[in-house]
Structure 1
Amino acid sequence: MKLLASTDFAVRLLMLLAHRGGEGPLSVEMLSRELGGLSRHHLHKIVQNLASMGLVETLRGAGGGVLLAKKPEDIRIGSLLAALEEDCALVECFREDGACTLMPVCRLKGFLGTARRNFYRELDQRTIADCLPLKK
């Protein structure tokens, strides 16, 4: 299963915020640099999405920036990916307006749906905290 680039950046953003949590809010400029030069426009969209999910808070003004709204150990990876990828059709028959001519007899959709659910269920055993470097 291939994740959307925006999902990849969202997960890495949460990991970065968790890793640097004690530093206070992190600026968009700093986050953009740390995420390999991700454009500010793309980063703003990702931050807005994560904020609407209740995972990050944004603070305006001097000293403002982005910070985690939940503890890293409370953010389950599988649930996060499922929420970020909910509009992404794995194959044509997963689309609402899908044009699959095999639909009445094909069983592939069921197999893929089960695999996707198992993928998320397996990842739900891990949290953002589990993705952080081990402390020495």
Structure 2
Amino acid sequence: MRLSCRGRYVTRAMIELALHHGKEPLPLAIIEKNQGISKKYLTQLMGVLKLAGLIRVIRGKNGGYLLARAPSEITLADILYAVEGDMSLIECVKDAKLCYRSDECISRPTWVELSELIKDYLGTTTLEDILKKGILLQMSGASK
């Protein structure tokens, strides 16, 4: 499985919002600057996140973006499924009927199990978890 650029960028944008959670709305220009994502692409991603109910948009002079829920309540699964859709490793994991060999395939159970492990990890890892790990890395100097 390879995470798309879209998935990585949307995660970075959500992390930026999580870093500012509980504060005033964050303007798109700040997210663009801090994360190095083009305004045009970021605008598209924010639209998807809004439709998924993960962010709120505040219009006006002091407007910007806010997380719709606390960082402890938003998982990587919420974020990535919003832009990537199903994250199964291979098509037959999602639907065995898509492969004529699925009934006799020796490796399919392994791919199913691995896909479930990934889904479990994504579903239990929150933005808060990511922030905590990042802060610990920065404190240890490992991020340099």
What TM bracket, shorter-length normalisation?
A: 0.7 to 0.9
> For this pair of structures, how many residues does the alignment match?
133
Q: TM (normalized to structure 2)?
A: 0.74
Partner of 1:4: 4
Partner of residue 21, structure 1: 21
Q: Report the 3-state secondary structure (helix = DSSP H, G, I; strand = E; otherwise coil) of the residue aligned with 1:66.
A: strand
Q: Supply the AA of the counterpart residue of 1:40.
A: K
Q: Which 5+ residue runs of structure 2 have no aligned equivalent?
A: 140-144
Q: Over aligned residue pairs, what C-alpha RMSD do you find?
A: 2.8
TM-score, L = length of structure 1: 0.77
Alpha-carbon contact 1:82-1:120 (below 8 Å) kept:
no
CA contact (8 A) 1:78 1:119 kept: no
CA distance in 1, matches of 2:113, 2:11: 23
Deviation digits for residues 110-133 of structure 1 (CA, Å, limit 9, x no counterpart): 432331121120232321011113
SS in 2 for 1:62: coil
- The alignment partner of 2:124 has SS state of coil
* Residue of structure 2 in register with 1:122 after alignment: 121
Percent identity between matched residues is 28
Q: Which moved more, 1:2-11 or 1:99-108?
A: 99-108
Aligned to 2:46, what secondary structure does the other structure show? helix
User: Which protein has greater RCO, CA pairs closer than 8 Å, 6+ apart?
Assistant: 1
> Quick check: 2:15–2:127 contact (8 Å CA) kept in 1?
yes
- Which residue number in structure 2 is paired with residue 59 of structure 1? 58
- Letter of the structure 2 residue corresponding to residue 70 of structure 1: R
The question of whether the paired residues in 1 share the 8 Å contact of 2:48 and 2:82 is answered with: no
Q: Mind listing any 5+ residue stretches in structure 1 that lack a counterpart?
A: none
